[in-house]
């Protein structure tokens, strides 16, 4: 089983705002990000409609498929805020958890917080709660970002009805998928239903895939199933295997 080195875990970007990833950092919709990413890969981003790049979806949201709306109902970002990572949950309860950073006016501190897609388990939860702070000269390392994500994504953080429930991080969502769909569905499918990624921290997707693999092996032992294979389709985000709407 692969491991993440201390060098990878210790990586921290120099800046969030003066960075090529800033093209995505304020776009909330998952599908619109996917469209932009595909257009960039194909060299035809100039052909995309202007509304593709708007911070908030300007079209009619009601009646659209849930997959197309994923992320669009996240709370708006602050004036100088950017998204530095996101957790995408697919399956029976599609949702997005957005990890965001902003600078204080004097530029001396960076505030990191989580925002949640409204509805479902997020009902009644304040999406503006600050989770952590760090010096602007010391943006969170990958290991610190992982800690923030795990602390933000578990049952204790998200459920207003169960404040004493232990936080399980991304595994909370994998367990939820297993509970909803049952053990007849391959464990790799439940593991792949949850994916964390960042355009600033390239190692986050690898950690997410490793976390899914560890959960699959542990869960197989718990319920007496054969050990899962080393990988499964959909373990990481797929961005090139479906036709693009534009270009």
| Per-domain boundaries in the chain | 6-223
pLDDT value at position 167?
54
- Burial (Cβ within 10 Å: 0-12, 13-18, ≥19) of residue 27: buried
Give CA–CA dist 194/87, Å, rounded.
Answer: 7
pLDDT value at position 206?
92
* Summary mean pLDDT of the chain: 75
Q: How many CB atoms lie within 10 A of CB 158?
A: 21
Q: What is the mean pLDDT of residues 92-99?
A: 82
Give the pLDDT band (50/70/90) at residue 196: very high
pLDDT value at position 104?
77
85 pLDDT more than 70: yes
pLDDT value at position 243?
37
236 pLDDT more than 50: no
Q: What is the mean pLDDT of residues 147-176?
A: 69
The radius of gyration computed from the CA coordinates of the chain, to the nearest angstrom, equals 18
Which pTM was predicted? 0.77
pLDDT value at position 204?
95
Q: What is the mean pLDDT of residues 229-235?
A: 45
For 27-80, what is each residue's pLDDT tens digit?
Answer: 888 888 888 888 888 888 778 877 777 766 655 555 666 667 788 888 888 888
Place of tokens 């709370």: 75
The least confident of 24-33, 172-181, 207-216, 220-229 is: 220-229
pLDDT value at position 63?
61
Q: What is the mean pLDDT of residues 158-178?
A: 67
The closest of 55, 20, 23 to 36, measured between CA atoms, is 23
Give the pLDDT band (50/70/90) at residue 114: confident
Q: Would you tell me the crossing angle of helices 203-223 and 142-153 to the nearest 10 degrees?
A: 50
């Amino acid at each position: 089983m692969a491991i993440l080195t201390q060098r990878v875990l210790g990586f921290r970007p120099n800046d969030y705002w003066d960075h090529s990833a800033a093209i995505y950092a304020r776009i909330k919709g998952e599908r619109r990000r996917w469209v932009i990413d595909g257009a960039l890969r194909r060299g035809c981003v100039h052909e995309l409609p202007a509304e593709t790049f708007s911070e908030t979806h300007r079209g009619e949201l009601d009646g659209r498929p849930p997959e197309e709306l994923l992320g669009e109902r996240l709370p708006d970002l602050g004036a100088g805020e950017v998204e530095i990572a996101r957790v995408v949950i697919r399956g029976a309860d599609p949702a997005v958890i957005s990890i965001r950073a902003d600078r204080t006016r004097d530029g001396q501190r960076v505030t990191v917080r989580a925002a949640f897609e409204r509805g479902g388990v997020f009902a009644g939860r304040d999406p503006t709660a600050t989770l952590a702070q760090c010096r602007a000269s010391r943006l969170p390392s990958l290991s610190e970002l992982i800690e923030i994500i795990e602390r933000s994504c578990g049952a204790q953080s998200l459920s207003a009805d169960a404040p004493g429930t232990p936080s399980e991080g991304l595994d909370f969502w994998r367990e939820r998928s297993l509970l909803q769909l049952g053990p007849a569905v391959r464990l790799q499918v439940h593991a792949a239903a949850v994916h964390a990624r960042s355009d600033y921290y390239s190692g986050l997707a690898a950690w997410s895939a490793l976390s899914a693999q560890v959960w699959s092996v542990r869960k197989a032992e718990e319920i007496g199933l054969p050990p899962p294979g080393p990988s499964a389709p959909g373990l990481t985000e797929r961005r090139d295997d479906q036709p693009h709407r534009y270009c």
